[in-house]
Every structure is written in C-alpha cells, then in structure tokens.
Structure 1
Amino acid sequence: MSDISSFNGLGTSGASELFQILRDGRPRTRTELAEQMGLARSTITLRIEALMELGLVGFVDDAVSTGGRPSSRIALKAGSKVVLGVDIGASHLRVAVTDLTGHRLRETARTIEVSQGPDVVLEAVVELGSELLHDSGRAIRDLLAIGIGLPGPVEHRTGRPINPPIMPGWNGFDVPGHLQAHFHVPVLVDNDVNIMALGERNVAWPNVDNLIFVKVATGIGAGIVSSGMLQRGADGVAGDIGHIRVHDGTGVPCHCGNKDCLEAVASGPAVASKLRALGMEASTSEDVVRLVGAGSTEAVHAVRQAGRDVGEVLSACVSLINPSVIIIGGSMALTGEHFIAGIREVVYSRTIPLATQHLQIVQSSSGLDAGVLGASMLAIHHAMSPQRIDAMVLGLSGAAAG
C-alpha cells in the first residue's frame, strides 16, 4: 500500500520501476529482471548499478547453476538504510529505528504529555531519535525518512495539526519543518489512528484490502483502508467516528461542544467516570482495564455497554464501507473479550447478513506497538516510492555532472 504525495516535474530514471520489483526481497538474476521488464540486460545492468550506488540493492549468494558460470542474484538490502517511526500519544512517546522492511532495530519510549506543546515534545523526538541512530550504529546519512503519528486531526499534505482538541499549542505547527531542520530528510505526519491502521495491516493483514482499525482509549477514532488504500477524505478527517452521536446517550457533554458523542460515552475516561460515580477509584483507561482484570462486575458491565455503543456506530460504518475485518486497538482493547463482545453483539444484529457473513471483529495483534509500526511504514512507503527513488537517482546524475 503506497499512500504518498506525488512529486511534480521529475522525469523517470527507469531504476525506480526496477526497484519496485525488488522491494519484495526476493533475489533475482539480471536475466530474470530483463525478461520480467522486457528490457535488454545492458539496460538492466545500468539501472542496477544506480540502485547499488544508492545502497538500496546488492548481490546475494550465487544462484543454483545449471552448468557453466553461476548467475549473480540481486536483492533489496533491507538493512542498508533506515527510517524513524514516531508515535506521539496523549501521554506517551514511542520512537523506533527500523530497516526498509519495517523490522525494528532499536526502540525506546518515554512518558510525556502532548499538552506540553510541540517544542518540548519534538525536542524529545530529536533526542530519542538521535540516540537510537547512534545506538544502532547508524549515521544521519543512513536515514531516509521519518513517519509520525499525532493524536489529533492532521492536514496530511502539510503535516500540520488542525485544531487538535487535546494538543494546546499545536494548531498549525510546522512539525515536518521542525524535524527536518535536525535530520534533513522527508517527514511524513498523519493522525495516530491512520498510522495504527497501516501498522496493523502490515503486521497481521497484508492481504486484506478492506479493513477498519478502531482505537478506543482517551479518544476514539478509526483508520479506514479501502481497496488497499488508506482513506483520509477531503480534509483528512475520514474515520473521526468519535464525534458521531450515540442515540441512547444521557446528554453527556463532549469537548467538541456537542452532547452524547461516542467519545464522551464510550472512551476509557468516559467509562472510568461511570465507575467513579459508583464509588470506584477510576479516572483512566488503565484503571478500567485494572478493574476488569480484578473481576469487578460493575467494570465488566460498563465495558460491555461501551462496546455496544461503539458497535452502534460501527454497524453504520459496516453498511457504508463493507470491510472484511474490524480491528479493535487502543488501551480499552486490553479489557479483552468483554469489550469486543459488546461490539460484536450490536454489529452482527444491526447489519444485514450479506455485510457480516465474512466479517471478522478482532483485537489488535500488535497492541500498543501499532502506532510506531505504522509510523515506520508511513516513512517506508514514502522513502521507497517511485517518485523518491527517481529523485535519488536523478540526484546521483546531478552530482556526477557537477
């Protein structure tokens, strides 16, 4: 799934098309590549040489010979370059350095409040990212791109947060520009739920082209993959299901100014508030998870009802989008089957059988790692896109001419 902004005014090097074939990691000979692309071996050789100069591909062990000199095979050098994946949450920061397949080489985390503002949080990103590169034996020149997920609406084209409700001081902040000043590579920024959808799909559902990833934690949102492409909508707010009204609400106010929004009724803090009203000590999603784990009947019932509320909204989404899989992530998913059972109960009963006959509703397999994994994939998709490969190859030509 390649979901990136296009470059304008760049010609094609030809090497980018070859590289897209080699991205799957399977070694091939020059002859195999020439036959697959319908080109002369001499042309293939020139393009391979350009990609080798960039450090993106290389020779692997010799192919099995059928007599005579064995043919050399060429494959992606997944570890030759790296990207940084950054997951910024309401109260956490996770950073990972990965190779070009998304394999994590080093990672770290820090507790930090996003409400401290972009200068504080992004300086922590610079600090942790630099440390990870150093600890993994990498230099800045090995870094191809950075992917970042933010817990609020993002204008994907510019990477700037747009009126994020829990991120004071972030509105319109130039996140890519701030980090580019330190790392000098492209910086891709998206909503945290979108990148979680990318991460989960890459890890667990690579062959599924229609899915919805739902994060239920401090807030509620969805990342939508349709026909293999992440759907952001006209203004980047596709999947903002947290502000759809729940019909059986009790007039609970939401920070957006409306009442009975799904987020105000079924998020972790919302469930904790209901339990607190019953005399229990709870204020966060983690407290809810703890109480469910301790066997609290009240907590189990509250979580099950929250699942039903989420299911009410998702039943409409199923009819509209017709996904094959709905994946439930975020801290509330850690309550296990109680929460997901409530979702299934409503979705399967309120949606036509044709839409649910093959539908799976499952817990996220990547758990709290989905964000940093997805941020890495966002960076990889950009760094390895035909446009970026062409730009790098043309950069080689320019350097040689100079």
Structure 2
Amino acid sequence: MTASDELPGSAAHVLELVASGSATSRADLVRELGLAASTVSTRVQELVDAGLLTESGEGASRGGRRPRLLRIATQGAVALAADLGSHHIRTGAVGPTGSTCFDVDEHAFDLTAGPEPALDALAERLAELAERQRAAGRTVRGVGIGFPGPVDTDGGRIIAPSRMPGWHLFALRDRLTDRLGLPVLLDNDANMLALGEHRAAHRKLRHLVVVKAGRGIGSGVISHGRLYRGARGSAGDISHVRVDAAAERPCSCGNIGCLETVASGAAIAAALRAQGIAADSATDILRLVENGEPYATTLVRQAGRDIGAVLAVVVNFFNPEAVILGGALSGAEPLVAAVRGMLYERCLPMATRELTIDAAAFGPDAGLLGAGHAALRELAAGDGLRFPAGKRAP
C-alpha cells in the first residue's frame, strides 16, 4: 500500500479525516466511516500511540457524554523530508499536519556525479537533521524522498533517469534505510510536489495537475483527492512528449523532439549560453527575466507556450479543477502567462470555464511538505513503511 492508496477506515484514512477537519472525535469518525466504534477506537489508539494524534478536552455534547477532541499532534512526531534536484539537496522536517516544514536547509550537489557520493551527502544531511529533531524532543518517524527521475516506488529503486549515469536500478530506499536506521519512502519529485501543494494549498480540490518546471520538466496528477501514478508509476511524465518546436533535437532519453529539449531550464540555459549570455541554472534565468533581458524573456515565454500546448491535451483529456505550476521557473511570470494563454486558446471552453491556472503557493517547500506528509501517512497505513529484508523498525 502506498501513501496515496489508503483504504477507508485505515489508520491513514482516520488521520486524513482529522487533519482535514472532517472529524474531531471518535463519534465523528464512526459517522464518517460507517464502522463499528470498537474498530474506530483501535485505529485512533494506534495513531495516538504513534504520536500522530492527540485526544484531550471536551467537545459539544449531542445528547450524550461530551466527546473528547481529536487533534493532529503539533509536537512530538515528525518525518524528515528531502527534495532532490539534479544540482541540489534540500532537506527539512515535517509535522503531522503536513502543512508546514521547519529546519529547512539547501546545499548545492551534482546528482550526476553518481549514486554513491549522493547517498553519502544525503545520509549525512538527514542524520544531522534527525539529531536536531531529537535534541528538540521530537520523535523521528521516517523519511520521505523526492527524486528527479523515474522511481519504482514498490521496489524503492531509481529507473533509468535521463542525464544521470549510474543511477539505474540503484536501491536508494534500502541503502538510505541502512544508513539512517529509519523507514524511507521514495517517489518522484513531481509527485511529491503535487502532494505538497494539494495538501497545503488545495485540499478541497479533487483533481489537479501540478507541473514542476525547473532544470527538467515533470508533473504529478491528483485524481479524486489522491496521487495517481498509473499502471507503472509514469503517470504525469510530460517531459518526453514530442512537440513541433523541438523538431529533430535529440533528447537524453534517446528519442528526438521531446518537450524537455526546448522548454526545460537546462535547455533554456544552454540556448542563452550559445548567445554568450551567462546562465547555468533556473535561478540565473529568473534573474535575467526580472532584469528585462529580451532573449531570456523570449525563451521563457516560448517555453511556456510549449508546456501549455502539451498541457492542453492533458486538460482536455483529464478535465482537472486546477493546473498548478511549480519548480524554479514558475517564478517567471512570462512562463505562467504563456501557459495560461495556451490553455485558454486550445482547450474546450467547458474544460477551462472554472479552471484555476496559477503558480504554486508553497514554492520550494512544496516538495518537502509532500515527501514528509507521504511518509507520515505511509507510517499510519497498515504495516507502515517498508524496511529491507532482515531489518526491523527501531
């Protein structure tokens, strides 16, 4: 079971109902879930024992005994979270509400240097973060990781990531669990971004497409309020959709004409350098656009049109309530405006009539929120996060 697939009445479902405000007592949960009071009490007690829920005070009576109020624990249990980019490692801690992260830190690191150096750096950062949380009196329950490439979530492995030699089939989840002594959840970074934005900013919406536009391009899909991965985990991968603007350009995936070759931060930076304009990162691109550099602005606007052309097919097909643009390039207003323009130009009026198209509300923290929240929900679901064979939870 994954964090997005909890069963009705599971501990993870109970946690979600309390976190959303749909239930504030055991009696509320009985009514919401239609389960026996004894079953609900068992689930609640599991979450209280795990430090994810608290039960105290008294609510309003509905004719009988005044119920004790359930709340998400604001102190105590946390998950560590890491949002990996191709050239950075960002870490933080996330509490059970899943709406705020703290002790956030970011360091430059090149993931293309290979998995072993990245594992060392990531394990070091997370171990230091865990020590700080424990020193503050918090219990570290697990770790959530967002990786910038295809991920086998069940096997905890990286699958053939573009531009990252040596990572294919690397068992990052199990290797990191061995190093930290904590259960680890591993997923694609765009999926974690989608979970974070949905949880923290758009919880009432049921259907979203959340795009991560940075050095690369990806997207996560929320369907019926849950993360949708598809049959093999590749749902939302728009980066390798062929677009006319890319013509015959070779892509790192081995195909030609992919969206990533013209609309990603890496492609834009390369085009700028070819014209003698210094740009190595999405941050450099944003700075150039903010300073009014005409060629950079033109490239970013065209990237928005190319991304919007692909998303128009997605919107017509999936009919989401919102398209949210995250990642470093979402800070460029010309890109957001161009995506919005293409969607209104190419989508059915019924699909865009009430469609929200906006930049992500939580910026670079959204991926951390999603990873931490997913890890805590997985711990609350059934058997919790997986340990490698022969390992047991501390």
* Equivalent position of 1:332 in the other structure: 329
1:337-384 residue CA offsets vs partner (Å, 9 max, x unmatched): x11121122221112211111122211111122211111122122112
* Equivalent position of 2:338 in the other structure: 342
* Deviation of 1:206 (Å): 0.7
Q: Which has the larger radius of gyration?
A: 1
Q: Do structure 1's residue 195 and structure 2's residue 195 form an aligned pair?
A: no
Residue 113 of structure 1, aligned match among 110, 113, 119:
110
| RMSD (CA atoms) | 3.3
* Deviation of 1:26 (Å): 7.9
Q: TM-score, normalised by structure 2?
A: 0.85
Q: TM-score, normalised by structure 1?
A: 0.83
Q: Mean Cα displacement is larger for which, 17-26 or 253-262?
A: 17-26
1:117-161 residue CA offsets vs partner (Å, 9 max, x unmatched): 222222222222222222233599922221111111111111200
* Equivalent position of 2:306 in the other structure: 309
Residue 166 of structure 1, aligned match among 153, 163, 167:
163
Residue 361 of structure 1, aligned match among 354, 357, 374:
357
Secondary structure of 2:292's counterpart equals: coil
Secondary structure of 1:257's counterpart equals: coil
* Equivalent position of 1:270 in the other structure: 267
Q: Contact conserved, 2:6 with 2:381, CA < 8 A, in 1?
A: no
Unaligned runs of 5+ in 2: 386-394
1:297-327 residue CA offsets vs partner (Å, 9 max, x unmatched): 2222221111111111111111111111111
1: distance between equivalents of 2:371 and 2:103? 14
* Equivalent position of 1:131 in the other structure: 128
Secondary structure of 2:81's counterpart equals: strand
Q: Contact conserved, 1:221 with 1:240, CA < 8 A, in 2?
A: yes
Secondary structure of 1:301's counterpart equals: helix
Q: Quick one: which amino acid aligns to residue 339 of structure 1?
A: L
Q: Mean Cα displacement is larger for which, 252-261 or 208-217?
A: 252-261
Unaligned runs of 5+ in 1: 390-402
Q: Contact conserved, 2:150 with 2:234, CA < 8 A, in 1?
A: yes
1:224-254 residue CA offsets vs partner (Å, 9 max, x unmatched): 1122222212222111111111113343221
Aligned length: 383
2: distance between equivalents of 1:76 and 1:245? 45
Distance 1:132 1:25, change over 3 A: farther
1:84-123 to 2 correspondences below 5 Å? 84-102=80-98, 103-123=100-120
* Deviation of 1:17 (Å): 7.4
Q: Contact conserved, 2:47 with 2:380, CA < 8 A, in 1?
A: no
Q: Contact conserved, 1:26 with 1:75, CA < 8 A, in 2?
A: no
Seq. identity, % = 37
* Equivalent position of 1:254 in the other structure: 251
2: distance between equivalents of 1:18 and 1:347? 37
1:87-146 residue CA offsets vs partner (Å, 9 max, x unmatched): 111011111122111232422221111122222222222222222222233599922221
1: distance between equivalents of 2:153 and 2:12? 24
Q: Contact conserved, 1:55 with 1:77, CA < 8 A, in 2?
A: yes
Secondary structure of 1:109's counterpart equals: strand
* Equivalent position of 1:180 in the other structure: 177
* Deviation of 1:35 (Å): 6.9
